[in-house]
């Protein structure tokens, strides 16, 4: 078999349809904010099963370390990808459709023993958390990324403290006005 050239991407994101892209995009934005290299593909477990299998089985040879697989409805993509690789697979269930994403959440998370897929939440937190989880996996061997993750946590904590200060100020003002 011909040797595949390394893509240079640490994280591979795959989605079942280009209709998933508006949701998946914030996973890309989050990876970019951490300076993590990535590749993005549309491959369907149902409509292009051979391509989905090829994408997954060649990912490690391309140099990929973590895969994020996004799909809606009967969301088999993350599971199929996990079946074709030993890389960690993060499932991103897509909200929408007749069951509003509950189907994709269950299809993504309910994997049989031996083929794990960790699933993130439905909704806007999902793609962000999928990307951060991928960064956390990479950070195990990269002190620079660990530092960035700590900075990210400190920034979130500072935002909460600012919010607390604001609410306390409003409460004081309300008490004075009473």
CB of 40 to ligand RP5, least distance (A): 14
* Residue 138, CA distances (Å) to 35, 73, 80, 103 in order: 12, 29, 23, 30
CB of 142 to ligand RP5, least distance (A): 30
Residues at the contact surface with ligand RP5, assessed by CB under 6 A: 15-17, 19-20, 44, 71-73, 94
**Residue 5 burial by CB count (10 A; 0-12/13-18/19+): exposed, middle or buried?**
exposed
Of 17 and 37, CB closest to ligand RP5: 17
CB of 132 to ligand RP5, least distance (A): 21
CA atoms within 13 A on the CB side of 164: 6
Beta carbons of 40 and 13 less than 8 angstroms apart: yes
Of 59 and 71, CB closest to ligand RP5: 71
CB of 19 to ligand RP5, least distance (A): 3
Of 71 and 111, CB closest to ligand RP5: 71
Beta carbons of 55 and 43 less than 8 angstroms apart: yes
Of 10 and 72, CB closest to ligand RP5: 72
């Amino acid at each position: 078999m011909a040797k595949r050239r390394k893509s240079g991407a640490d994280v591979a994101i795959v989605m079942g349809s280009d209709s998933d892209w508006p949701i998946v995009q914030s996973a890309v934005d989050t990876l970019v904010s951490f300076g993590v290299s990535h590749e993005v593909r549309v491959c369907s477990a149902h409509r292009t099963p051979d391509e989905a299998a090829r994408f997954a089985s060649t990912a490690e040879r391309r140099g990929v370390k973590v895969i994020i697989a996004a799909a809606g409805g009967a969301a088999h993509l993350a599971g199929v990808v996990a079946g074709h690789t030993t890389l960690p697979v993060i499932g991103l269930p897509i909200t929408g459709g007749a069951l509003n994403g509950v189907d994709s959440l269950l299809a993504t998370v309910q994997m049989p023993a031996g083929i794990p897929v960790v699933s993130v939440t439905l909704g806007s937190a999902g793609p962000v958390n999928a990307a951060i989880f991928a960064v956390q996996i990479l950070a195990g061997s990269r002190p620079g990324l660990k530092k960035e993750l700590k900075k990210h946590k400190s920034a979130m904590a500072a935002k909460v403290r600012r919010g607390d200060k604001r609410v306390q100020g409003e409460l004081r003002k309300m008490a004075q006005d009473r």
